[in-house]
Structure 1
Amino acid sequence: MTTMDFGTFMQQVANSISLGSLYALLAIGYTLVYGILRLINFAHGDIFMLGAYFAFYAISAFTMPWFLAFPLAILLTILVGVLLERGAYRPLRNSPRIAIMISAIGASYLIENLGVMIFGGRPKAFPNIDLFNQIFNIGSVSVSGVSLVIPVVTLVVLLILFYIINKTKTGMAMRAVSKDYEAARLMGIDVNTIITVTFAMGSGLAAVGAIMWGMKYPQLIPLMGLMPGLKCFIAAVIGGIGDVRGAVIGGFILGFGEIMIVAFFPELSGYRDAFAFVVLIFVLLVKPAGIMGKASVEKV
């Protein structure tokens, strides 16, 4: 075990907040879709990958400034998410749940292999944006601009999301659909539209997370969404999948755990990715519904 001074500890805390915020953004996308459809969108990590590549090509190939490229990448990612819902999930809406799950896994592999064909397997470097790469010294803690921006973006996104869910008619409809499809239809809610909106929101969050991820870890490959996607699914389960607050809590638990394990136990750095699975097993044994989840009987 490594000992560290206060300044070094605070440096690791800053790193943990940044990574936890990224995990939270992705985990929210998982939990939104599950809350409405009771479906694990296994292609969510691949949507995340597409968001990073869209931003990369908008800046590198089309020489767009970042403040135009990033919104365009988010819109394109939302479009892909909506098309995925309409093409892979909606036709199976009334099929057995296992059929939709298989479709989700198939969609994931399809996007990954299309990514290899279209983008190539060679890693690409995310464009360097000077504004976000500046180093700020706060006391003895050195933080890059992107590490400061990530938690702020996550907080803003969360506030907007909570406002939509709790204060708007669309949010009210989303909560109604998450409880009972048929009752929501009887109340005049267009269930298909609400599901599409949910996929759009989840895909948009994935794109925002992908852009932040690309600036912090600037290496892009077509399979880059696999491990982050899996970890964020784990984060959503740990927090209580279907609960937005739980997804955020789960994301920060993983972020802090991974960074602190490497900081205090450098000899265990090779097992960093295993931390998520260990925590998942522990939470499922102690509280199967997750930290914020409520035990319920699932309808067959």
Structure 2
Amino acid sequence: MEWFLSLSPLLDDKFPPFVQQLINGLTLGSIYGLIAIGYTMVYGIIGMVNFAHGDVYMIGAFQAMIVLLLCGTLGISWVPLQLLIMLVVAIVLTAAYGWMVERIAYRPLRGAPRLAPLISAIGMSIVLQNYVQLLQGPRPKPVEPVIRGGLELMSRSDGSFAVQLGFMQIIIILLTIVLMTGFALLISRTALGRAQRACEQDMKMASLLGVNVDRTISLTFVMGAGLAAVAGMMVTLYWGNNDFYMGFIAGIKAFTAAVLGGIGSLPGAMLGGILIGLIEAMWSNYFSAEYKDVAAFGVLILVLIFRPTGLLGRPEVEKV
């Protein structure tokens, strides 16, 4: 008991900042996880990495920002209605970009060596970046917060620090849980999910059995882009500062999350996103924030050395 009493002032000093960074890391990791699901879905079916996916997420963020500004111009001030319009428009328009990426950068090169679609995807990424830069300009676009406030969970005894759980953080975490659950049910219990799993196992055999492979792959790109749009909308509402280059950094982090969790695994993508978010948040709090990316990629290297398939990935079985 005396030992605990001697330790309690230290806990009171260190525990609230730890909890705050835990909340921040879960919020950031949820966004990374939503983007990472798009990477892992595409890779799981066609075995290729969509390096334009980060820029699709960036376009989703800009779509959400434009709709929010239009709502203000049209006099729509009720926040739930604003959020609903943002969500629907951002998902629909961004999904169209995801479909376009598949039709232009991937479908014509599906039978080509893997290096060709990889270069095509990088080229599409550059095109989308410059397209948004020309339309919106190179400067960051700040957005006024729509959802403010939060809950105070705990504080230090001297009142010098309080743990805040923002309403926007609650929305991000809950929405991520709902979307992850919905996609898990879609993959496991619907005809589209069965078609996706069939294409993942053997695309040619799935086609012989009546699965429309082209439509299944297109819908996979559309679904991944829709999730990226949700992530872009959440970033717009949470941080409120969009620029044409934001998709590159977030895309690299989300791809890292997908590889860390086991690319091809939906739970692995979300787990990898959460881990990357927590590593960045904790490293920024206890060490130098400038090296948080080094810490995240360092953990990825260690995982790939000792478990090359990722945390939840399965070893690839070669088809003969």
Q: What's the TM-score bracket when you normalise by the shorter of the two chains?
A: over 0.9
- Compute the displacement of 1:136 (Å): 1.7
SS of the equivalent of 2:152 reads strand
| 1:85/1:199 contact within 8 Å kept | yes
- Alignment of 1:138 with 2:158, yes or no, is no
Q: Measure the CA separation in 2 of the matches of 1:101 and 1:297.
A: 22
- Determine which of 283, 292, 305 is the counterpart of 1:285: 305
In the TM superposition, 1:6-45 aligns within 5 A as 6-45=15-54
- Alignment of 1:77 with 2:94, yes or no, is yes
- Alignment of 1:261 with 2:283, yes or no, is yes
Q: Measure the CA separation in 1 of the matches of 2:263 and 2:186.
A: 19
What is the percentage of aligned positions where both structures have the same residue?
40
Structure number with larger C-alpha Rg: 2
- Alignment of 1:176 with 2:198, yes or no, is yes
Q: Measure the CA separation in 2 of the matches of 1:168 and 1:127.
A: 40
Q: Measure the CA separation in 1 of the matches of 2:106 and 2:203.
A: 16
Q: Read off the aligned partner of 2:59 and give its amino acid letter.
A: L
In the TM superposition, 1:112-127 aligns within 5 A as 112-127=129-144
- Compute the displacement of 1:214 (Å): 1.5
2:106 matched residue in structure 1: 89
Question: Any gaps of 5 or more consecutive residues in structure 1?
Answer: none
- Alignment of 1:110 with 2:163, yes or no, is no
- Compute the displacement of 1:298 (Å): 5.5
- Determine which of 49, 53, 68 is the counterpart of 2:62: 53
- Determine which of 151, 158, 166 is the counterpart of 2:180: 158
Q: Measure the CA separation in 2 of the matches of 1:246 and 1:174.
A: 17
2:158 matched residue in structure 1: none
SS of the equivalent of 1:241 reads coil
| 1:88/1:103 contact within 8 Å kept | yes
- Alignment of 1:149 with 2:160, yes or no, is no
1:99 matched residue in structure 2: 116
In the TM superposition, 1:197-236 aligns within 5 A as 197-236=219-258
- Compute the displacement of 1:299 (Å): 6.7
Q: Measure the CA separation in 2 of the matches of 1:62 and 1:155.
A: 28
- Compute the displacement of 1:297 (Å): 5.1
SS of the equivalent of 2:246 reads coil
Aligned residues: 295
Q: Read off the aligned partner of 1:29 and give its amino acid letter.
A: G
Q: Read off the aligned partner of 1:72 and give its amino acid letter.
A: V
- Compute the displacement of 1:144 (Å): 1.3
| 1:60/1:127 contact within 8 Å kept | no
Moved more, 184-193 or 6-15: 6-15
SS of the equivalent of 1:133 reads coil
Q: Measure the CA separation in 2 of the matches of 1:127 and 1:168.
A: 40
Residue deviations 1:214-240 (CA, integer Å, cap 9, x gap): 122211110011111101100100111
Residue deviations 1:132-178 (CA, integer Å, cap 9, x gap): 22222223321111111111000000111011000011101100001
- Compute the displacement of 1:106 (Å): 0.5
- Compute the displacement of 1:34 (Å): 0.6
Q: RMSD over aligned Cα, in angstroms? A: 1.7
2:83 matched residue in structure 1: 66
TM (norm. structure 1) is 0.94
| 1:14/1:143 contact within 8 Å kept | yes
- Compute the displacement of 1:286 (Å): 0.9
- Compute the displacement of 1:248 (Å): 1.0
